[in-house]
Structure 1
Amino acid sequence: MSTPAERPTVLFVCVHNAGRSQMGAAFLTHLGAGRVEVRSAGSAPAQTVNPAVVEAMREVGVDISAEVPKVLTVEAVRSSDVVITMGCGDACPYFPGKRYLDWKLEDPAGQGVDAVRPIRDEIENRVRDLLADLGVEAAE
């Protein structure tokens, strides 16, 4: 088991931190099983996480009902090894030497759970690929 200092830190960023970034963070937390430090934030955070997103994640056994959208800070970006943007555009600060990934995904805002499921499944697949790329075996 790696020490906390050896764990990679991943930050998921979207505008409202109410859907895509919450799902990404939840999957990485769940599948990374403590081997990755996970953060999420939004450039203009919503008041609550999208209820359809909470329901879609519950369907796959991941409870995010207690999560709260958080504001993106320069420090969160600075202290992360990998920054994954999901539609925050130029609102995300750039630091040389950081690894940035831009995951183009449909925004689940205002959509029902049926529309959220394929977004959720795509995020899970990308998180599994990210774990493999980081050299971290996914927990099941």
Structure 2
Amino acid sequence: MADRVYNVLFLCTANSARSVLAEAILNQLGEGRFRAYSAGSQPRGTVNPYAINLLRNLGHDVSALRSKSWDEFAEPGAPVMDFVFTVCDSAANEACPVWPGRPATAHWGIPDPAAVTGSEAQIALAFDEAYRMLRRRIELFLALPISSIDHLALQEKLREIGKSGAGADNGAPADIAANG
């Protein structure tokens, strides 16, 4: 199991900001152990320029990022997902495709930075905050002993991560990573 690469799909309605941020973060932090993807129920067709800018400035590879439909991942020949996370409330309430296999799922709702209006600084701050929250949840996820935990316990841990404040010091309950 140590050599296994887990496939993770992050879903959001437009697939232009939050899900794309999560894809880039997990592909960097989980390199070699995880392969992240993102998609949307109603993809915008382009990735938000603030998301691209932020990721590029933080050293993420943005060359393969694109806004795409979740239908791509429900088709024959698509990668089989081990985990599927919704990162926006709209996508969490939509009827998702049936995913092949039995992926663990959870809702990790994050406020939409693309919905923020105001100055350039206010918008950039909203993207920074979304990135920080997603990164913290992904760090908690990466700390889980995935290969040695049963499916139901894993589902519960994933839901706990999604309910966490995911702040710099007040992430998920302390026992999530420690007790696996």
Q: What is the TM-score of this pair, normalised by structure 2? A: 0.65
Cα separation, 2, equivalents of 1:82 and 1:66: 20
- 1:27 to 1:100, Cα distance in 2 relative to 1, 3 A: same
Q: Percentage identity across aligned positions?
A: 33
Structure with the bigger RCO (C-alpha within 8 Å, sep 6+) is 1
Within a 5 Å distance, the mapping from 1:76-87 to structure 2 comes to 79-87=80-88
Deviation track 1:94-113 (CA, whole Å, cap 9, x = no partner) reads 55832111011101224321
Tell me the number of residue pairs that the alignment of Structure 1 and Structure 2 aligns.
Answer: 134
Deviation track 1:67-123 (CA, whole Å, cap 9, x = no partner) reads 210110224998211100112122323558321110111012243212111111110
Q: Show the counterpart of 2:127.
A: 116
Cα separation, 2, equivalents of 1:49 and 1:68: 6
Q: What is the TM-score of this pair, normalised by structure 1? A: 0.82
**Paired residue secondary structure (2:125):** helix
Cα separation, 2, equivalents of 1:53 and 1:114: 11
Q: Show the counterpart of 1:127.
A: 138
Within a 5 Å distance, the mapping from 1:28-43 to structure 2 comes to 28-43=26-41
Between structure 1 and structure 2, the one with the greater Rg is 2
- Is contact 1:43-1:91 (8 Å) kept? no
Counterpart of 1:72 in structure 2: which amino acid?
A: W
1:93 is aligned, of 84, 92, 97, to 97
- Is contact 2:47-2:67 (8 Å) kept? yes
